[in-house]
Amino acid sequence: MKTLAIMRRDLLKLRRNPLTLISTILMPIIYLVIIGNSFQGQLKHLPVVLVAQDHGEYARRMVEQMLALQAGPKTINLSFMADPGDAIAAVRDGRFKGAVVIPPNFSHNVAEGRLAEIGLFTDNVDSVSASAIEGVLADAAQSIRISFVTAREPKLNQIVLRPSWLFQYVDYDRSLIPGVIVMAIFMGSLMSGVFNWVMDKFMGMTECYLVTPLSRWNIAAGILGSGVTITSIAGIVVLFLGLLITGGRIQGGVPALVTLIAIIVITSTGLLAMTFAILGRASHPRLVGTFAGFLNVILFFPSGAIYPIESFPPWLKAFARYNPETHSVSAIKSILFKGADLNAVTGDITFLIIFMAVTLALASISFKRTL
């Protein structure tokens, strides 16, 4: 009853300041909308200039393929020039990301069965754009039965790749949902649990606890319980709002939903306990805000929520393996998008439970019933 009284007081305090809960839910949703429209999964509108020195049948097919890339997936914005030197200079000046040169006698070489080359000059400083342009043009070249050769590394490629999807199609906006759920949990853990405790300490409210028979366990459990309630609700609301915005659904039905809620609660408890263990003895709420930004960067971005962990450098990949947000994002993705059962995410959930137990122990040690 003593613990419930502390928990009730903390929740009532939040009711008088609903902006905290609203911002916990609203800000991750804003991140979902902004990031989803700023960092598209497929690059688009890359400026490319074409110099067609041949006007034969196969050259026209290549031009048609590039126009299709502009009209369909909008990968490139195509311009035309007559002189190859001017086109390459324009790439050097940064006006275009790449220049494509179809040389004279190109169609004749294709018809005769000879090696027909297309020159490609890319701004390789922007490696992501260069790779994207090379990839789509290679596909376009293969579609007209020719070998595509870059201007920097000539080679033939006779391998035909036939991809198959194992899971449902997940667009880039929808793929961010696990990340914004974890972000909502993290923000809630800072705005409800340890922030309330440090603010009470700063305002002198915690001194009232010292004249009561409440133990430090009652106080800590009450504050932690209210924080878990708030952050779990925020995470669940963000889950459904994210699915509503992106038009997604939960694979696996009710059992998957129950598993997702369990993951959210375990993650909330672990992150709340972690922030309490780190910041529980802070004397000013400004310290919580300052440290919050630092924690958000080092935990969220290496979590695999935005960029694949496999592409990290070795040191960051090693850190990501011990990042609780990594395992939370991984488990939510598997359940939400792949329809995986509990056995498939046992490793992630086990890590989260161990992390929760360790941080709870550390939080209890750091918490003192003193001024």
Tokens matching residue 204 = 């002198």
φ, ψ of residue 254 to 5 degrees: the values are -65, -45
Beta bridge partners of 51: 101
Domains of the chain plus CATH, in order, are 46-143 (3.40.1710.10), 169-366 (no CATH)
Residue 368 has pLDDT above 80, yes or no: no
Using alpha carbons, select from 327, 278, 326 the residue that is nearest to residue 300.
Answer: 326
What integer pLDDT is reported at residue 260 of this predicted model?
92
Query: What pLDDT digit, counting tens, does each position of 89-119 carry?
Result: 888 767 888 888 888 887 877 777 677 778 8
What integer pLDDT is reported at residue 116 of this predicted model?
75
Instruction: Quote the CA–CA distance of 231 and 239 in Å, as a whole number.
Output: 12
Amino acid at 190: L
Half-sphere exposure of 135 (CA within 13 A, CB side): 12
Q: Are strands 98-102 and 119-122 parallel, antiparallel or unpaired?
A: antiparallel
Query: What pLDDT digit, counting tens, does each position of 204-238 carry?
Result: 666 666 666 666 667 667 778 888 888 888 899 99
Instruction: Quote the CA–CA distance of 208 and 200 in Å, as a whole number.
Output: 10
E strands, 127-274, where? none
What integer pLDDT is reported at residue 298 of this predicted model?
78
Query: What pLDDT digit, counting tens, does each position of 7-56 carry?
Result: 676 666 666 556 555 655 666 665 555 455 444 456 678 888 998 888 88
- Burial code of 32-45, b = ≥16 C-beta within 10 A, e = fewer? beebbeeeeeebee
25: Cβ–Cβ under 8 A, 6 or more apart, which residues?
184, 234, 237, 238, 241
Query: What pLDDT digit, counting tens, does each position of 167-184 carry?
Result: 566 666 777 888 889 888
Instruction: Quote the CA–CA distance of 83 and 71 in Å, as a whole number.
Output: 25
Instruction: Quote the CA–CA distance of 249 and 310 in Å, as a whole number.
Output: 27
The percent of residues in the chain predicted with pLDDT above 90, rounded, is: 9
Residue 340 has pLDDT above 80, yes or no: no
Query: What pLDDT digit, counting tens, does each position of 248-257 carry?
Result: 788 778 888 9
Residue 5 has pLDDT above 50, yes or no: yes
Q: Please identify which residue in the block is written with the tokens 């579609």.
A: 143
Q: Are strands 119-122 and 76-80 parallel, antiparallel or unpaired?
A: unpaired
- DSSP type of residue 46: E
Residue 273 has pLDDT above 90, yes or no: no
List C-alpha distances in Å: 244 to 68, 240, 241, 266: 32, 6, 5, 24
What integer pLDDT is reported at residue 25 of this predicted model?
64
Beta bridge partners of 101: 51, 119
Instruction: Quote the CA–CA distance of 97 and 47 in Å, as a whole number.
Output: 6
Query: What pLDDT digit, counting tens, does each position of 323-332 carry?
Result: 999 999 989 9
Confidence of residue 164 (pLDDT cuts 50, 70, 90): very low
- DSSP type of residue 214: -
- Mean pLDDT confidence for 300-313: 76
What integer pLDDT is reported at residue 28 of this predicted model?
64
